[in-house]
Chains A and B, each alone.
Chain A
Amino acid sequence: MDILISGLLLGGTYALIAMGLTLQYGVARIMNLANGEVLVIGALTAFLVYTSLAVSPLVTVLVIAPLAFAASWLVYRILLLPLVRRAKNQGQLEVDSILATFGMGFFLVGGMVFIYPELFAYSYLAVPVDLAGTTVAANRLVAFGGAVLIGLALYLWLNRTRAGLAVRAVAVSPLAAGLVGINVEKTSALAFAIGGMITAMGGVLISTFITLDPSFGVIFTMKALIIVIMGGVGDIRGAIVAALILGVVETAVATLIDPGLTLAAAYTIFLLVLLFRPEGLFGRRPA
């Protein structure tokens, strides 16, 4: 029961990161391997403003959202759009975007190393709370609550607004979306920016209960990718379920066997998905 609750709480934050990535890959067609670094930037910012200015992460998360949105939007327009335009096919765009976002990821890690080259953590709301007989730290609960709110807002935006509809249309087919008058480049930029925003917000939330250092990004990228593939590319609902599964499995492995094996656990899940359901949990087998 302990494992289940802590796992679900962790999975909530994972879901947020994976949602960010699935927007970027599923809609903007950019396999963003710098996703984890964006998360670490969010976390590092929260840490720095909390320790130096005593600003609550709950404030930081609201401040960082527009900043991350704007930065991601600029990255898409300036760096990624030229790759989209020059790509002759999806395969070439995939290779180019993988290499370019690797470059950006390393660049960001390099920048963060200059600012803070060590492990960082701070104590925020580290008080025990009793939840259905299980003791959990309040910060995990708050982070989970934040993840649920952001996820809900995203869901409503995608399903209740015109812009959200355009995003979903581009996810299904950029070509067809363009034919019905949707500005595909603009919509892709929007989806990419929102993806980056959500990821950075997830980073702020996760920093309240996890110790990080500037180089940890790649692990989160890896986990987010596994979740996205397990959930089915572009499938928000699948990503949420997959994230919760990963959260629970990781927590179980960390508690019952060894905390050093969480990545191996994630890989095992990944392998099972690749072998048995490469189209995702809810995906239909491609014909």
Chain B
Amino acid sequence: MTPGDPILFVNNVTKRFGGLVAVNNVSFEVREHEVMGLIGPNGSGKSTTMNMISGALKATSGSITLKGHDLTRAKTFENARFGVSRTFQLVRILPELSVLENVIAGAVFGHKRRWGAEAEAFAAGLLERVGLAERITAPVGSLTYIDQKRLELARALAGEPSVLLLDEWLAGLNPSELKVGIDLVASLRQEGRTIILVEHVMDAIRSLCDRCLVINSGTKIAEGTPDAVLSDPDVIRAYLGEG
């Protein structure tokens, strides 16, 4: 789907931890139906940026808005209700809930809300969507790593978010799983979802992203199509060092 109008605005956002500036005056926009990659070397501020959008961290200055809702000072749960959903860098499954309940958890309290039989049916549909239809009655503890990642994705989709944050969702998958994972994200893109993904897998970035933002040491150093930014001398220098 072709990207529409911008819905997420990140304006001059800075995050300080004590004396350390983790994110320095970063601005960008994300358009509806767009898949945007957020890339950069380790420790560059990608996850901090994601955490500020999801509300897990509060920006020191600047502002973040989504479809007119101010996310900057809102509580994490409010950001979820405004339409932000996410997966976590280290996968977080709810161990004492069933597979189906894990997905329903995302559908009850967030952006679009469902409950009862409607929520169950919707969650079952999402499990099928991410390829877990056969695991619906499996104990949560028996899920493989990629299945846990799928389950987390289904939970994130269950609130029908306006913007979906995938924080290294493909990390840790083996080559055959990686292909399955990339295809799954690609199919979400086909559906017209708005996604920000933090990723180190370059193949995934090239094939999935409409646009990329590169940050290094907390500062935005490039923005554009994947091919353009990945051949940008500043970006290459950031990844390979000053040498």
Contact = CB atoms under 8 A, between A and B. Distances in A.
Interface of A: 88, 284, 287
Interface string B2-19: 000000000000010110
B57 interface: yes
Q: Lowest 6 A-B CB distances belong to which pairs?
A: A287-B17, A284-B18, A287-B57, A287-B18, A287-B15, A88-B95
Nearest to A284: B18
Nearest to B95: A88
Contacts of B18: 284, 287
Contacts of B15: 287
Contacts of A287: 15, 17-18, 57
Nearest to B58: A287
A228 B187 CA distance: 52
6 contacts: A88-B95, A284-B18, A287-B15, A287-B17, A287-B18, A287-B57
A284 B18 CA distance: 8
A284 B20 CA distance: 13
Chain B facing A: main interface SS? loop
Nearest to B60: A287
B96 to A, nearest CB: 11
Contacts of A284: 18
Nearest to B22: A287
A287 B95 CA distance: 27
A283 to B, nearest CB: 11
Nearest to A287: B17
A208 to B, nearest CB: 44
A87 to B, nearest CB: 13
A287 B22 CA distance: 11
A278 B138 CA distance: 42
Interface in B85-124: 95
A88 B15 CA distance: 31
A287 B56 CA distance: 10
Nearest to A88: B95
A284 B17 CA distance: 10
B103 to A, nearest CB: 22
Contacts of B95: 88
Contacts of B57: 287
A147 B114 CA distance: 61
A284 B15 CA distance: 15
A90 to B, nearest CB: 14
A235 to B, nearest CB: 16
Contacts of B17: 287
Interface in B43-62: 57
A4 B95 CA distance: 53
Contacts of A88: 95
A287 B23 CA distance: 13
A88 B57 CA distance: 25
Nearest to A89: B95
Nearest to B51: A287
Interface string B66-92: 000000000000000000000000000
A287 B18 CA distance: 8
B199 to A, nearest CB: 24
A287 B14 CA distance: 13
A144 B174 CA distance: 62
A260 B18 CA distance: 42
A287 B17 CA distance: 6
A151 B95 CA distance: 44
A34 to B, nearest CB: 29
A97 B15 CA distance: 36
Nearest to B15: A287
A173 to B, nearest CB: 16
A18 to B, nearest CB: 26
Nearest to B17: A287
B20 to A, nearest CB: 9
Interface in B12-39: 15, 17-18
A77 to B, nearest CB: 29
A91 to B, nearest CB: 12
B21 to A, nearest CB: 12
A286 to B, nearest CB: 9
A13 to B, nearest CB: 34
A287 B15 CA distance: 9
B56 to A, nearest CB: 10
A104 B17 CA distance: 40
